[in-house]
Amino acid sequence: MFAIGYVGVILLFLYVPILVMMLMAFNASPLYQLPFDFDLVWFKALAGNDQLLTAARNSVLIAIANTVIATTLGTLTALAFARYHFFGKSLLQILLIPPITIPWLITGTAMLIFFFWTGIGRGLHAILLGHVALSLPYVVIIVGSRLKSYGVALEEAAATLGANGWQTFWRVSAPLMAPGIVAAALFAFAISFDQFVISYFLAPVGVSTLPVEIYSAIRKGFTPEINAISTIIILASMAMMLAFARFSKFGGER
């Protein structure tokens, strides 16, 4: 009973602030005054806020591009680590850990200096490069863990039955890797969409992502339009997660 109560308190601590924020997105008062007065005024105001919508579009586009690039490169890297032996393999695997453990503030500063030194500069392209660099280690580790869970026995069995390399990959390896790839892709999308430090350091003047724009808006004066767009993002994220859980079942029986 104590364990159930403890878990319940933790869940309340996590979800109550989110629920309050979502509820206030439908409150007509800009100062969150009670009693609650249901209204869609902040969603209507959001529809006319071009600056916030542009930042949201930038975040979505960068997150999608990052997901595709990081998941593809990370999956191929994990496959190479799991199935091949080559010089320097252990060192490369060890080098995947520091980008995860180093604070993003340090990573952002280093990327800003490096991009200016190499001529890449600041911009959406620089933000995308930074997000891919941050996401890759996570993808490699997640997909690599999935590869280790079933070994090479099934792939070797397919090869003994006459399947070539491509047939083995698409008919055996890819379906078995799919849950790990899906999880890694969702993780890469979340890292990119939610990334503030790298985006703040690498965004040029006049261009921003949603986290940077929300930060700037809060500094100028909080507006419930932020609650509105946050509510939309939360509902979209929940719908996407439920869709993946329902139709893929993450490797379970269909």
34 inside domain: yes
For the full predicted model, state whether its pTM sits above 0.85: no
The CATH number that applies at residue 147 is 1.10.3720.10
pLDDT of residue 248: 58
What single string gives the DSSP state of each residue in 148-193? HHH-SHHHHHHHHTT--HHHHIIIIIHHHHHHHHHHHHHHHHHHHH
236 and 114 belong to one structural domain: yes
Q: How far apart are CA 42 and CA 45, in angstroms?
A: 5
8 and 108 belong to one structural domain: no
18 and 130 belong to one structural domain: no
Residues 6+ apart with CB under 8 A from 49: 225
Helix axis angle, 174-194 to 225-247, nearest 10°: 170
Per the structure, how many domains does the chain have? 2
Mean pLDDT of 21-29: 81
105 and 13 belong to one structural domain: no
pLDDT of residue 63: 92
79 and 15 belong to one structural domain: no
Tracing tokens 């190499």 back to the chain, one arrives at 118
Q: Encode pLDDT of 46-95 as tens digits.
A: 888 888 888 889 999 999 999 999 999 999 898 888 878 888 888 888 88
95 inside domain: yes
Specify whether the CB–CB gap between 225 and 45 falls below 8 A: yes
172 and 203 belong to one structural domain: yes
219 inside domain: yes
44 inside domain: no
Q: Encode pLDDT of 133-177 as tens digits.
A: 999 999 999 988 888 877 677 777 877 777 777 777 787 778 888
Q: Give me the amino acid identity at 86.
A: F
96 and 119 belong to one structural domain: yes
132 inside domain: yes
pLDDT of residue 246: 67
46 inside domain: no
Reference 158, options 174, 182, 180; nearest CA is: 174
Beta partners for residue 38, in sequence order:
27
Specify whether the CB–CB gap between 181 and 77 falls below 8 A: no
Reference 205, options 190, 194, 216, 220; nearest CA is: 216
Q: Where are the alpha helices (DSSP H) in 34-160?
A: 41-47, 50-83, 89-94, 98-101, 104-118, 124-150, 153-160
4 inside domain: yes
28 and 109 belong to one structural domain: no
Length of the chain (residues): 254
236 and 194 belong to one structural domain: yes
155 and 83 belong to one structural domain: yes
163 inside domain: yes
Q: How confident is the model at residue 221 (pLDDT cuts 50, 70, 90)?
A: low
143 and 228 belong to one structural domain: yes
Residues 6+ apart with CB under 8 A from 80: 86
- Tell me which residue range forms the domain holding 33: 1-39
Q: How far apart are CA 138 and CA 191, in angstroms?
A: 10
Specify whether the CB–CB gap between 138 and 99 falls below 8 A: no
148 and 185 belong to one structural domain: yes
